[in-house]
Structures are given as C-alpha cells and as structure tokens.
Amino acid sequence: MAIETRFRNRTEAGKLLASQLTQYANRPDVLVLGIPHGGVTVAFEVARVLNVPWDICLVRKLGVPGNPELAIGAVAADGFEVLNEDLLDWLRISGHTIAEVADLELQELQHHDLIYRGDRSSLDIRDRIVILVDDGLSTGAMMRAAIGMLKPQHPQQIIIAVPVAPLDTCNELRTEVDRVVCLNTPAQFGGIGLWYEDFTQTTDEQVCELLIGSSSTSLKRSN
C-alpha cells in the first residue's frame, strides 16, 4: 500500500496500519508493542482494531552532547545499544562520552518504566508474534535497539509496522526481522513529522492514560 498524502494524525495512521495486518486479528499469540512516545498512539489503535493485547517497548535515542536531536544511536531498557559508528568517527566522540550518554538515557528509561507501568510487569513475548510499532522511522536506530532487546526473549516472529519511513531503512530492517509493513516510503523523506498534519508530541500522561484505559476495556492485556 502506498500513501502519497500526509496522515491526519497518529490515530488515523494506526487504523491504516491495522488494515494491512488483518491476518493477525483476534489471535491470542499476537502482541503489539509501541515505542514511546509517538509510537504508543499508533500501537494502541493497531491493537484496538485487531483486538489483540498491546504494551510498550522502552528505547531511547542517544543524542550528541550539546545537540541531542542529532542521534548517534539508541539504547533499549536492558542496555542493548545500537551505535552509528560512521557518525561517531566523524564527530570524534570518545567511548567515555558514549558511555555517559547511554547511562543517562538508561536512567531515563528506568524512570519512565516506573511512570508507565508502576508495579505491573511487562507482557511475556516468548513464542508470540510481536508487531513492533512506531509512528515512523528515519535511521531505524531505535527500532534496531528494540529488536536487539526482544530477540533474546524468543518471540515466534518480529514484525515491524510503521506508517512512514525511507525505503532504504525498511530494506535494511527486512534483513533483521520476519516482516516489515510500511505504508509510505517517500522518495523525498525529509523527516517523520512532515508526513503528519498533526504531529503534536505525545506526553507521558497520554501514554499512561492509554495503558490504564486499555487494561479496563475489551483489549486483552493478559497472557
């Protein structure tokens, strides 16, 4: 499916993604995981339409000191790191600096895990088909960090589902997972936010509301 116009918002993007994943609907072995912040709203909508359980998958971008928007990699909640070695060499960033940045982001992940989950444990993914969702990809570093964290937990399959991403990023990720579903792979990418009419930042409060709300509805969050 190719979409050349922008998505109205993340909710619409999630509904459109779900329409390409109908073979996974109503299956107890399927689990949707959303990457905070923006991927959570998309994942919630995918899970709602498919009527399958969902949860969050905590990863953080590793930004350049003094320029946090420039990513040198990503780190997952279990400490698994993905680094852009070419960028690190070009910027001449030391291993000590990388370790400091990663340590700070791991502290943030632990903090957000407490905010989002409280005393609830994460869902077991062993032998399940995991649909890993974000609101879009650029370099794919955060998605690779998520994949690296999930694979040792022995899922049956890992499927990446995103509304928009560069074609080369999708092709690279296809070598690491079982399937990649991307609605829009524009030749002139320019950034994820350009492909949404409303790209308002998702807040911690909104993530918590979706998680708490879904646990009290028909969405099945139990194993």
Please indicate whether residue 220 or residue 86 has the higher confidence score (pLDDT): 86
pLDDT average, residue stretch 129-157: 95
Range in 13-27, 116-130, 132-146 the model is least confident about = 116-130
Average pLDDT, rounded, for the chain = 89
pLDDT at 10: 97
Helix (H, G, I), strand (E, B) or coil at 36: coil
Assigned fold of 10-59+122-215:
Rossmann fold (3.40.50)
- What is the average per-residue pLDDT within 178-202? 94
Top CATH class of 61-116 equals: alpha beta
Q: How confident is the model at residue 61 (pLDDT cuts 50, 70, 90)?
A: confident
State the pLDDT at residue 3: 54
pLDDT given for residue 131 in this prediction:
98
* Fold agreement (10-59+122-215, 61-116): no
pLDDT in tens, 40-55: 999 999 999 999 999 9
- Residue 28: burial class (beta carbons within 10 Å; 0-12, 13-18, 19+): exposed
Residue 5 confidence (pLDDT) above 80: no
User: What percent of the chain has pLDDT above 70?
Assistant: 94
Residue 215 pLDDT exceeds 50: yes
| Domain edges within the chain | 10-59+122-215, 61-116
Determine the pLDDT at residue 221.
Answer: 39
At 166 the pLDDT is 95
CA gap 142, 81 in Å, rounded: 9
Greatest CA separation for the chain: 51
Give the CA count within 13 Å in the CB-facing half-sphere of 18. 23
pLDDT in tens, 67-113: 777 778 888 888 888 888 888 888 888 888 888 888 998 898 888 88
Is the pLDDT at 223 greater than 60, yes or no? Answer: no
Burial of 208 (0-12, 13-18, 19+ CB in 10 A): middle
